[in-house]
Structure 1
Amino acid sequence: MKIVVFGASGGTGRETVAQGLAAGHHVTAVVRRPDSLQRQAGLGIALVPDLNGTELVDDVVSGQDVVISALGTNARGPVSVCTDGVRSILGSMTRTGVRRLIVVSAYAASETRDGSLYSRMLWAMMGGKMRDKDEMESLIRASDVDWTIVRPPALKNKPRTGVYRAGTEVRIGLTSTISRADLADFMLSAATESTFVHQAPRIAA
């Protein structure tokens, strides 16, 4: 399978690239800087400094079986990294005929924002990022691609276990976590099946 990973130099992106290669997929990692990842067998590295560069993004997306977005930022305040990136990705998918999209969002975005302590705390601490995810999700839902929006709680840098709960009704609370490695494992599994097409599953250890 041919998989392209946007946000490939971040924690979740790196795990997705590594596990995709280990599973025998041909992986293209989209990065902004040429020194972000080491070259290795089966890995294509696409340098795209700005996702608004339509031709560059089209070239990367064209011919892929699955697009995975692990875009994010550590910036504070109002941000639009996810919204802008996914808008560009969706445009390229439409132009090139690629159908399958898997995107990392967050629990407490869109319809999962509720009155729980978890949701209130997340929005209080990272309101700018959460609004970005809301906008991103609106774009995805309005598209005609075969999308899956993945909703993790707090992410940890721990080894892959393959033991986690995933589904649209999984309960998420203040102590809920998932490792980036297990999140990547789930996204790659979703890439090979249609169980969660047009759904937004939650995932937690």
Structure 2
Amino acid sequence: MRITVFGATGRIGAAAVEQALEAGHKVVAVVRASAQYEVRHPALEVVKVTGLTDASELVRAVDGAEAVLSGVGPRGRKDGPVTSTSTRSIIQAMQQTGVRRYVGVSAAPVGPVPPGDSLVNRALIHPFFGWFLKDTYADLALMEDELAQSGLDWTVVRPPRLVSKPVTGVYRTALDANLPRGMAISREDTAHLMLATLADPTTTGHTIGIAY
């Protein structure tokens, strides 16, 4: 499969590129022109762009792809509406080129608190982060809304707190729901699930909660 990966210099995107290449896919890694990108592989093509807000500049990156993965997101809570604006341009580029399959990353707090979650999570942790990162989550919710209206075959993965550890492929998932006591997941396993959804048509048009 030919897969275009946006956010390839980020940790989730980098993991998606690595795992996709190891699985035998052809990968187009989209990176900013100013970024250093040292990954080399016979099945890897690197496309450099000045930014992700101009759909016309992204067309060459998605043209001919069978799927698009995006790990694009803010690096900090003051970065502004990075995810929704970038995703809007990616959607437009996909619509122009006829590419339909899209898998992106949101965050667990965009969804509801799951039944059976602990009192501490319900009363303290979820409300605190909902307030502290309210602008980030509002941007992710807007991104999800735009995907839902795009006409694409989309899937959105909603991880909780992200950590870094080797990929395991062992984690819990829930369709259109968050997981009770789902406190963390690695970036590497988040990328693993993103790639796994490409072979699972039942995930199209859904969000997926993920956690250990």
Tell me which residue corresponds to 2:132.
125
For the pair 1:21 / 2:29, whether they are aligned, the reply is no
Aligned-pair CA distance for 1:113 = 6.2
Tell me which residue corresponds to 1:112.
112
- Cα deviation, 1:31-90, whole Å, max 9, x if unaligned, reads 113523422221111101211233220111111001111101223336111001100011
More off after superposition, 151-160 vs 124-133: 124-133
Q: Assess if the C-alpha contact under 8 Å between 2:4 and 2:29 holds in 1.
A: yes
Q: Give the Cα separation in 2 of the matches to 1:113 and 1:166.
A: 15
SS in structure 2 opposite 1:112?
Answer: coil
Change (3 A) 1:185 1:50: same
Aligned-pair CA distance for 1:183 = 0.8
Identity %: 35
Q: Give the Cα separation in 2 of the matches to 1:52 and 1:42.
A: 27
SS in structure 2 opposite 1:98?
Answer: coil
Tell me which residue corresponds to 2:31.
31
Q: Give the Cα separation in 2 of the matches to 1:15 and 1:51.
A: 20
Tell me which residue corresponds to 1:203.
210
Q: Give the Cα separation in 1 of the matches to 2:11 and 2:201.
A: 25
Q: Assess if the C-alpha contact under 8 Å between 1:152 and 1:204 holds in 2.
A: yes
Aligned-pair CA distance for 1:98 = 0.5
Aligned-pair CA distance for 1:171 = 1.8
Q: Give the Cα separation in 2 of the matches to 1:74 and 1:92.
A: 24
Q: TM-score, normalised by structure 1?
A: 0.92
For the pair 1:74 / 2:81, whether they are aligned, the reply is no
SS in structure 1 opposite 2:27?
Answer: strand
Q: Give the Cα separation in 2 of the matches to 1:34 and 1:154.
A: 26
**Structure 1 segments of 4 or more deviating over 4 A?**
none
Q: Assess if the C-alpha contact under 8 Å between 2:62 and 2:97 holds in 1.
A: yes
For the pair 1:190 / 2:193, whether they are aligned, the reply is no
Q: Assess if the C-alpha contact under 8 Å between 1:153 and 1:172 holds in 2.
A: no
- Cα deviation, 1:95-148, whole Å, max 9, x if unaligned, reads 111010101000111x42689333312222222211110111111111100010
Change (3 A) 1:34 1:75: closer
Tell me which residue corresponds to 2:54.
53
Q: Assess if the C-alpha contact under 8 Å between 1:70 and 1:103 holds in 2.
A: yes
For the pair 1:152 / 2:159, whether they are aligned, the reply is yes
SS in structure 1 opposite 2:14?
Answer: helix
Q: TM-score, normalised by structure 2?
A: 0.89
SS in structure 1 opposite 2:207?
Answer: coil
RMSD (CA atoms): 1.8
Q: Give the Cα separation in 1 of the matches to 2:145 and 2:152.
A: 13
Tell me which residue corresponds to 1:7.
7
Q: Give the Cα separation in 2 of the matches to 1:170 and 1:51.
A: 29
Q: Assess if the C-alpha contact under 8 Å between 2:112 and 2:178 holds in 1.
A: no
Q: Give the Cα separation in 1 of the matches to 2:135 and 2:196.
A: 30
Tell me which residue corresponds to 2:179.
171
Q: Assess if the C-alpha contact under 8 Å between 1:78 and 1:128 holds in 2.
A: no
Aligned-pair CA distance for 1:182 = 0.8
SS in structure 2 opposite 1:201?
Answer: strand
SS in structure 2 opposite 1:149?
Answer: strand
Q: Give the Cα separation in 1 of the matches to 2:170 and 2:55.
A: 39
Q: Which runs of 5+ in 1 are unaligned?
A: none
